[in-house]
Amino acid sequence: MNTPNRARRNVAEYDMVLVWLGIALLSFGLVMVYSASIDIAEANRSTGYHPTFFLSRQLVFIVIGLLAGYVAFQVPVFKWQRFAPWLFLGGLALLVLVLVPGIGRNVNGSQRWLPLAIINLQPSELMKLAAVLYAADYTVRKAAFMHNFKQGFLPMLVAILSTGFLLLREPDFGAFVVIIVIAMATLFLGGLNLRIFAGLFVLSVVGFVGLIWSSPYRLQRIVGFMDPWADPYGKGYQLSHALIAFGRGQWLGLGLGGSVEKLFYLPEAHTDFLLAVIAEELGFVGVAVVIALFAWLVIRAFQIGRAAAQLERHFCALTAMGIGVWIGVQACINIGVNMGLLPTKGLTLPFLSFGGSGIVANCIAIAILLRIDYETRSLKRGKKGV
């Protein structure tokens, strides 16, 4: 007799908005990866590819990600907090391992991948999740010292610099930027002294300028970003073709599958520059939908964090908001790069771009968000005596 009511109550225990946002992004990404990669796969038939090569692999990645997310959801949040330092150390170990000659795989001059049978693991993607958990745990443990530079921030600074050193050796400057933003945002939300935060912000800007100035290839990216048409066949090649794709798409696009730029003009069309293909095929409307979905997801993450904070579940609150910062910042950087607002960083679009490590890390992040919300709802029901 009470089965329908019980079913409705069980559904109400979960944030279905967050679930459908994740499904929408993964599904949309699957369709667009296929559209952006079918011609590349067709052209490489002689090397064992087939037209649905990237589609089938992306589908496998999504299935693995969903399974990993299901397992992650079963883990209580207090266990994530307990193991956060160990997960961070494990991430550092993987970053060291990927730099070992003969173990890490080098692609296009970057050594970022660990070959595992039929897939390649990118430790920097998993490190972003580990950084969120570690920063939240650290901030909670050091809450009483947030006004003290030596005790409150210096240990975290050492952790960030160690991570940054390893990432820059790959090199993966984009991942380093995302992890720094995650750490600083978490500390700020956790009550870090404003003077310390302002000083760190200035130092970060100076440090980034120094890193760019000291590295010829990063400096070339900045030059190409400032005026891609000055060298459209060299430093500005990727950006110029991305801008052409945006221009061709106009309001409603050329239709799904109608992109010309993906036909070997736009490099990394199914990974870093997937948004340019979306813009060309689905126009301004398609890009606006993507931005709206990411904005909604980030807002929902902060709402979940605020609800947890109201129950004084500080680790949960900082983790939820940290995940929101991570996904939001990475999406903004990728969108900015595609639109010519930021220099090329080599960062994928979360949930959408082709790639196994990123998809799995994103699915686990959503699962942890769902778990935080689930536990918060359970505590609220308990307080109401339901």
Please name the helix (run of DSSP H) or strand (run of DSSP E) that holds residue 351, with its range, or none. none
Rounded to whole angstroms, the Cα distance separating 287 from 297 reads 16
Does residue 124 carry a pLDDT above 70?
Answer: yes
> Widest CA span of the chain, in angstroms?
73
- Between 221 and 250, the more confident residue is 250
Rounded to whole angstroms, the Cα distance separating 25 from 45 reads 29
pTM of the model: 0.93
- Between 363 and 48, the more confident residue is 363
- Chain segment 263-305, per-residue pLDDT in tens: 989 988 999 999 999 999 999 999 999 999 999 999 999 999 9
Per-residue pLDDT, 217: 67
3-state secondary structure of 126: helix
- Chain segment 223-238, per-residue pLDDT in tens: 667 778 777 887 788 8
Does residue 377 carry a pLDDT above 70?
Answer: yes
- Chain segment 149-161, per-residue pLDDT in tens: 788 788 888 898 8
Sequence-distant (≥ 6) Cβ neighbours of residue 196 within 8 angstroms: 147, 149, 152, 153
Instruction: State the virtual CA torsion across 147, 149, 150, 156 in degrees, nearest 10.
Output: 100
- Chain segment 143-192, per-residue pLDDT in tens: 888 888 788 788 888 898 899 899 988 888 899 999 999 999 999 999 88
DSSP 97-124: HTTSTTTSEEETTEEEEEEETTEEE-HH
Q: How far apart are the first and last CA of the chain?
A: 19
Phi, psi of 106 (to 5 degrees): -100, 125
Question: What is the share, in percent, of the chain residues with pLDDT greater than 70?
Answer: 92
Per-residue pLDDT, 9: 47
From the number of C-beta atoms within 10 Å of its C-beta (0-12, 13-18, 19+), residue 345 rates as buried
Within 13 Å of residue 151, how many CA atoms lie on the same side as its CB? 8
Residues forming a β-bridge with 121: 114
